[in-house]
A = this chain, B = another copy of it.
Amino acid sequence: MGNELIKGCPSTSGDDYQLNTITLLRHAARSFPEQEVVSRSMDGSIRRSDYGQTYERVKRMSNALENLGVKPGDRVGVMGWNTHRFFELYFAISGMGAVLLQLNPRIAADHLTHVINHSQAKIICIAETMAPIIENVAPNLKTVEGYVILTDSPISEVKSKLSPKSGYEEILQAASPEREWAMIDERSAYSACYTTGTTGMPKGVYYSHRDIYLHTMEFAHLGQISMNDTVMQIVPMFHAQGWGVFFIGPMVGARLVLPGRYTLEDPSSLVDLLVTEKVTVSCGAPAIFMPMLQYIQKMPEKPDLTGLRMFSGATEPPLSMMKGFWDLGKAEIIHAYGATETTPLVTCNLLKPSLKNMPIEEQWELRKKQGLPVVGIDVRIADPEGKEQPHDGKSVGELWVKGPWITASYYDDERSTESFQDGYWKSGDAATMDENGYIKIADRIKDVIKSGGEWISSIDLENTLMGHPQVQEAAVVGIDHPKWEERPLALVVLREEGRGKVAKEDIYSFLAEKFPKWQLPDDILMVDEIPKTSVGKFSKKDMREQYKTYYQ
């Protein structure tokens, strides 16, 4: 759709009625007050509440924040686990027109300081166990006027040096349970999340109420999530508002499970909740779903996960993971794609009715793709001039995205100009769209390998290499080549047990089963370590620099 705006005949509809996130919780409290909200505490005990009680606590908390001096438009930082208090804050802060600033506990201290100062956060709400992270940066915070500690303990027993500090429960209980919600301009920010790039300070994405409301409706419809579902919030609530799973719960009247603290190393608490609470919907990524599956596969008695749908983001889901869950009662891994800048839903991989007769192995392959663009979002597979590429499954272009829940700039940031064109956000991802409309992300656009006019996906090579049982990690980059422009080079780290036993030739023959010869790396180097960035991602920039002349 073009960007030119035309006005037609005025309507008589209630167009002034604003899309506000609090409406979703008001609805749950009106029609589903008895529906359970299950939250796992730090000590592993299970707290059972419901939407009715949650709504009362949200009203109190909103009043409590006002008592602390928070006003519409103010930013309130939150750093916490996926608990009922974080859930309440999402509504308490945004319901009064303030902005929930999502704070990622894992980013570097200077980045965290930047995020809090850049957003001018007034109050920081922080889980007791995470308080040291904020204490570490507190002396450098310029706008913060106070701290609220999320804890089960009385504030008098909390040993944090943060000051002035109040206890979440104390200020909540002291506040009135009565609250009338004013209508908030739907274009006002409801939350903010800063995204960490490979260079420079994090960039701010400020989601509007309208954005979140529409995204929630779309996700509920696409996922066919209903009041008969139990949804578990696995994606951290400090990251792209955890994909908004906790909004879908109240909107559709589903049971909600908040797993509290968990780690990738020990997925037992997540699996435990999945089984005992009979979870039917969740969102996550292979980084957590894979350990969950491995944990389940070692259980003496396999659970029946019939009816479970797990929306998996981040990267292409490994086949072994998809099939592994499928074997536990046809539990479905549904791949979806997005980013902090996109709220996040951009594509979702559901099998079209017209493809139901496709041979089953082809279906599995298809379902690894990023999927069909969701309704309401415009996409473009753009060549460097911004021209749409053919939808043939081969022609690669950068994926551009626009729509009501796609960010249109970075908050107060000069770098915005680089990332937007014709109203689209330029994702930086290199993609194809096939004849059936399915998008596949092949690479980061800057990592695409161009060889003799053709194009090779470093990600496909890496994913295949990582599927080798003796490979611990692998990265592939394009290196300048005198004849072909670029040729792939693979760096492979073997598992300890494979070292000295697996030869370069073994890896080549493993790759040769899946790729045509011209796509195979010209060399495969066995290394002890792959260069990484400060946040632990492969640093392809460093690799390209290091091996710049390797093929000369």
Contact = CB atoms under 8 A, between A and B. Distances in A.
Of A5, A252, A410, chain B has the most CB atoms within 10 Å of the CB of A5
Contact of A204 (B12, B15, B190): B12
Interface string A142-163: 0000000000000000000000
A132 interface: no
A411 B181 contact: no
Interface in A172-192: 180-190
Interface in A28-60: 30-35
Interface in A497-551: none
Interface in A92-133: 97-99
Contacts of A32: 352, 354, 437
Contacts of A437: 30-33
Given A1-B20, A23-B376, A226-B224, A12 B423 contact: no
Interface stretch (A215-223, A259-267, A288-296, A476-484): A215-223
Contacts of A251: 375
A74 B210 CA distance: 29
Copies in the complex: 2
A377 to B, nearest CB: 9
Interface stretch (A78-86, A397-405, A454-462, A465-473): A397-405
B97 A2 contact: no
A17 B403 contact: yes
A33 to B, nearest CB: 8
Interface string A287-321: 00000000000000000000000000000000000
Contacts of A99: 8-9
Interface of A: 1-20, 22-24, 26-27, 30-35, 72-75, 97-99, 180-190, 204-211, 214, 217-218, 220-221, 224, 226-228, 251-253, 255, 343, 350, 352-354, 372-373, 375-376, 402-411, 423, 437
6 contacts: A7-B188, A9-B188, A13-B404, A31-B437, A32-B354, A217-B218
Q: Which 6 A-B pairs have the closest CB atoms?
A: A8-B188, A11-B208, A13-B211, A221-B221, A8-B97, A13-B208
